[in-house]
Each structure stands twice: as structure tokens, then as C-alpha cells.
Amino acid sequence: MAEHDYETTDVVICGCGPTGAMLSAYLGRLSVRHIVLEKEDGITTDPRGIALDEDGIRLLQGIGIYEHVYRDIGTCMQKFKFIGGTEKTLDTMPFLEMDYGTTEGGTGHIGFICHKQPTLEKHLRDIMSSSEYCQLRSNCTVSEISEDNNYTYSRYQDVNGTTHTIKSRFFIGADGKTGFTRKNYLEPLGIHMEQAHQSFYDETWVALNWTITLPTPTTHPDFPLWELGFTPQQVYDLFFPTNFRFICNPNRPAVCGRFGLPEDRLCRFEFVVRSDEDGDEMASPAKIKEVVFPYFSHTGSRYGLSRDVRFPEDCIHVLRSRPFRFAARSCNEWFHGRVVLCGDAAHVFPPFGGQGIASGFRDAVSLSWRLALLIRQPLPSPTYTPKTNHQQILQSWSRERKQQLTRSLSATIANGAFVTEHNPLKILLRDWSLYILSFLPTYRRDMRLGHRKKGMIRYEFADGMPFVPGLGGGVCVPQVYVSGWKGGRGGDEGVLFSDDVVFGRGKRGLFQVLVYIRDLNELPSAREVVSTIEQTSNGELPATEATYIIETTTTTPSPETEDTMSPVYRLATTEEFAGSPLCRGRPEPRHYNPYYLGEILGGGGVRYVIVRPDRFVYASCDSQRDLEGVVGGLVEYLRGEPLNW
């Protein structure tokens, strides 16, 4: 095909599930032209993923849809309760509880929400459609991918069967674990899924989604609890309790809990398929009635009745009943040349930690700014030869992501070890050891925190990673609540998330400067340093885009109010956040530490922090000399020079 017959763009994304949509949303914010090819006609109505952790919430906030998170996407998951024994009941006293309704993970958000994936995807696509840089094409099936040193070439068929071709700088496969990108293009080149964790896990589970209708005295006059004064809502709460249950039944492990908004009355139940059973048969109505329904039957003695009480079966409506193969796997490589894998196309998780969608989000956001950087750099030519190339930048991306993936998998596998343990002796030792350790305050806190006890992720440095290891680089920046100084710019904005200040709309710098100040008297000199740095960076770090946060919750007036200066913010208190619109629909911030940002950044006095778009520190220092050296290296990196620390 002749060169002029190709449609051209910067990036093609294959797949518009959560990962592909999130990548598109961030590419749009970074002004990168891209086309998204999706084989389906519209958003799936099947709620597949139901859990999203605080990183995922934070990244949704980053594209401007935080107001929808608790309004119509989901609600707080509260506690993860691990219950043992062989009785089919949800009321067993848990041997372990993790409280994800607290705000102590460092993001300013609760630990988990249980969401409706179709609604989540709708809001992601709304962001895509509002961007002038995005074209979403549905009913389009990719049939061919090729590449050379500078471009990728993709062929696809639209709904009418017409063939189209696109030439792009990069092609991103976000089309899932069975998608075309890996299965048809990359696997023949040696890229394949392999075991991703030393504790191998590969099992078939049945995943059930239900919507529940409330029984009433009119619809079910013979239901015995009406005579005891129970209301329809109370009956629902009794049989479908809040909090998520990990059912550690050695005979058949399972997971159960609500998802979506409370008024949606949606329920997820998953259970393992034994090796001698057929997954499709176990997903049949007869087997569901045999395996699952006993969990929704209570003994009559619980209510002083002579017969058992079962939730009316005709009030349980099946939305999904399908077997799935759950595994902990990751591709040996996440890219080849200019073709990159993201999300489930690159890695898959078992269902014990709610990390599938969140990990895809992390992939997308950390990849988006690197693609923006590479698109900014000219292609090799006789007059321009960059000393670094896209392979090195993508390699650093995959190395970082694999580190965080290992951490997420470790937490997921640890949860899975509780759920799937069969050995009676190990179960006895587990339960008693956790019981004894629960009397120790430190360990009790660790149990409450769950996977958050390790704190903010900090990357271990390897060649080419874009951060300065000796100057605090590679750590995820905590998010705190802030408020503008009275009388100054930002003073009337109320309580804000610090990310929304640092990465506010209208800022053109790829990286941003955050200045964290312990003493207000140091503000004027800090402003002078940042002005000097703007010149050193050749405009890459505009002084007017710098963010200043003072380590105090005191609401004294700002000493500077000139509109030409960047606004100054102080830390907001728990009480201020609880009373703000940001707290509507979510729990108040228990165990929130407003000083966590300063603790992670370290040092005293002024900290000058260069922050990457994926919320990781490039470098953090306390002197103008160190800052100038860091900025010099950053400018070279943005121009295509290799990092060399």
C-alpha cells in the first residue's frame, strides 16, 4: 500500500476496556493524538471487575471524574472478613479482618470501592469523547499488525467489513488476555504469559453476579420474619450483609460481597471448581442452587423459630454465571519494538485482591507520559540522532511496573493462601497464631491495614529508570488535603486534593515542581529558587506552575497575594475535609495523617520536589545547587539523552 494511503496518528490503542480507556484519557490530557479501536459495539453490560483500590480511585480523580465515584460508580467496601470452618454461613466470626474503610494508605482515599464496571467505563468514555485528541471507533476488529524502526502499521475491519489501515508511532494492545495483539502478533515473536509469582496459582472458579429484589409482606406473605417485625431492607441486610467475605472453607473456597451502590442491590459470589468437576456444569442453575444457596438460608433457632428461614429464591436474579480460569501470570516481555501490552494483555491476577483493573490503570498512566515524551521527540534523521531510544524508555517502564506488579501479586497471593488452604494442621496454626497476634497493638494495626502496611511504593533503581535514586526519587508521592491561604490565589477554593493542585488543568509542563515548606518565612527565597530553575530548565518547569504547600493547618492570611504568583496552600485537617463536598458519599477520613507527605519527602526546611505525571518523585532535594543539577539532567532526558546517575 502506498504511503499516502495510510491514515496517520501518534498512537493506536487496541481495546477500550478500563485499561485502554484510562490510557486514552491520560493521553488526551497530554495532547497526544490517538485512535482507539474496539471490537464491541458498546460498553459491556457484564460487571466483571467489581473492586478498585485507592490507587485506582486516585487515577480516576486525575482525569476529573472523582465527583462520580460515590455518586453512581461505587461505594466503600469497608472490611474484608476472612471466615473459616466448613459451615455454609456468612456469619461466622472472622479470624482476620482488614479495614479498607480507613484513609491511611497515603492517597487521601479509602482503601477500596466496590464498583459497577459498566458505569465506570461509561465515565471513562465520557472523558474520551470530550477530548479533541481522541477518536474512538467501535465495531472495529484488528486483523494485522506490523512495524519498522519508526512506525507501526495496523489493519482493521469496520462494522461494514471495510478494511482500513493506520500508521502510528506506537501500537498499544489493551485487548485483554485473549486479545489479538498478544495472541496473534506477539506470541509468534516469543512473548508469552508465564508464572508471575513463586506461589503458583491456576484454578477455575465460577463467578456469579446477582441483582436482588426486596421481598415484601405483599409479594411474600408467608415469609416468617414479617411476624417478628423485620422490614424488607432489614431482611436484605441479614442475608446479604455489608463487608466482603473471603470464605476460607477447605471443602470449597469462595468469595462473597455486595458491589455497586447500596440501592443497586448487586451481589458477587465466586467459588472454586474442583479438579474433578466441569466448570460449565458448576455454573448451571442446579449446581448454583446446590453450592451457593445454602449460604442464604438461616437456622430457625437464630430467630426463635422451629424451621429454617431461606431468602426467597425468586428475589435473586442472575446477571452472570460463568466459569473463569484464574491465575497469577505475567508476560516475559511487555513490548516488542513499538508494540506494547497493557493491563490484562500483559498480566492476570487471581480474584483475591481486587488488583486487576487497578494494575491496568497503573500501566496506562505510567505509560501515557512516556508516550507523550517519545511523541515530542523527533524521529531519527541525518540531522538528529537521539542517544536514547524508545526501547530504553519502554524497558524502564516495564521494569518499574513489574516491581509494583510483584508487590500487588504478593498481597493477592497472601489473601489467596488464607482462602484456599486445605491442610487442617496449617489452618489450626493460622487461626491460633492470628488470634494470639491480635493482642499486640502493632500487629493488630498491620492486620487492619492489609496490603497497605508496606506504605507507598518505592521503586528499586535500575539503569534507565527516570528518577534520581540518591535524591529520594522513585517513591510514590502521598496525596494530602490542602486549602488555599486566605487572601491569596486559591484561598477561596475550599478543600482540595493535592494532586488536583499539582497537576491542575492548564499546566503545560510534563513534570511539575512541588515545593514543600516547613516555615512560612522561607517562602520568598523558595520562590526565587524556582524562578531561577525555570531558566535552567529552558521553560520545561515554568515557575508559574509550581505548587507551594506549607506544613501547617493554621488558617492565617497569606503574606503574598500577587495574582502573578503561584498560589500557596496549607494542609487541611480531617475535620475540614469531612465537611467539604469531597467527602460526600464516602466515609470520613479515619486515621488520616496530614503530615505524611512531609514524612515521605524527608528532611527539614524547604523540599523541592520534581514530580512525574504518574505521581512518582523524579527527585527531591533541599538546596538550589542540587536542584539545578537535577533539572539539568531532566532537561537532557526530555530531549532524548540517556539518564546516567
Domain ranges for the chain: 1-46+116-196+329-421, 48-56+63-111+202-327, 456-639
Phi, psi at residue 483, to the nearest 5°?
-145, 145
* CA 250 centroid distance within chain: 31
pLDDT tier at 1 (50, 70, 90 boundaries)? very low
Residue 118 pLDDT exceeds 50: yes
Average pLDDT over residues 557-563: 50
> Within 13 A of 197's CA, how many CA atoms are on the CB side?
24
Residue 486 pLDDT exceeds 70: no
Evaluated on CA atoms 598, 604, 607, 612, the torsion sign reads negative
Domain 48-56+63-111+202-327 classification at class level:
alpha beta
Residue 558 pLDDT exceeds 80: no
Average pLDDT over residues 13-38: 97
Residues 6+ apart with CB under 8 A from 30: 368, 369, 371, 372, 510, 613
Q: H or E segment at 324? A: strand 316-327
Cell 494511503 identifies what position?
5
Residues 115 and 52 sit within 8 Å (Cβ to Cβ):
yes
Average pLDDT over residues 100-121: 95
- Looking at residue 265, its pLDDT comes to 96
- Looking at residue 229, its pLDDT comes to 96
pLDDT tens, residue by residue, 500-553: 999 987 888 899 999 999 988 999 999 999 999 988 888 889 999 999 999 999
- Looking at residue 349, its pLDDT comes to 75
Question: For residue 223, which of 300, 322, 312, 130 has the smallest C-alpha distance?
Answer: 312
pLDDT tens, residue by residue, 153-167: 999 999 999 999 999
Average pLDDT over residues 624-640: 90
Residues 589 and 108 sit within 8 Å (Cβ to Cβ):
yes
Domain 1-46+116-196+329-421 has CATH 3.50.50.60: yes
Exposure string of 73-89, with b = 16+ CB inside 10 Å and e = fewer, is bbbbbbbbbbbbbeebb
pLDDT tens, residue by residue, 336-395: 999 999 999 998 877 666 678 999 999 999 999 999 999 988 776 554 455 558 999 999
Rounded alpha-carbon distances, angstroms, from residue 406 to 49, 328, 351, 529, 617? 20, 10, 16, 39, 20
pLDDT tens, residue by residue, 200-212: 567 899 999 999 9
- Looking at residue 478, its pLDDT comes to 97
pLDDT tier at 491 (50, 70, 90 boundaries)? low
Architecture per CATH, 456-639: 3-Layer(aba) Sandwich (3.40)
CA dihedral 259, 261, 265, 266 (to 10 degrees): -30
Of the two residues 177 and 220, the one the predictor is more confident about is: 220
Of the two residues 1 and 645, the one the predictor is more confident about is: 645
Report the share of the chain in percent with pLDDT over 70.
Answer: 93
Rounded alpha-carbon distances, angstroms, from residue 226 to 120, 233, 384, 632? 37, 12, 80, 74
Question: Other C-beta atoms within 10 Å of 379: how many?
Answer: 12
Average pLDDT over residues 402-419: 79
- Looking at residue 567, its pLDDT comes to 84
CA dihedral 146, 151, 153, 154 (to 10 degrees): 100
Question: Other C-beta atoms within 10 Å of 263: how many?
Answer: 7
pLDDT tier at 490 (50, 70, 90 boundaries)? very low
Residue 317 pLDDT exceeds 50: yes
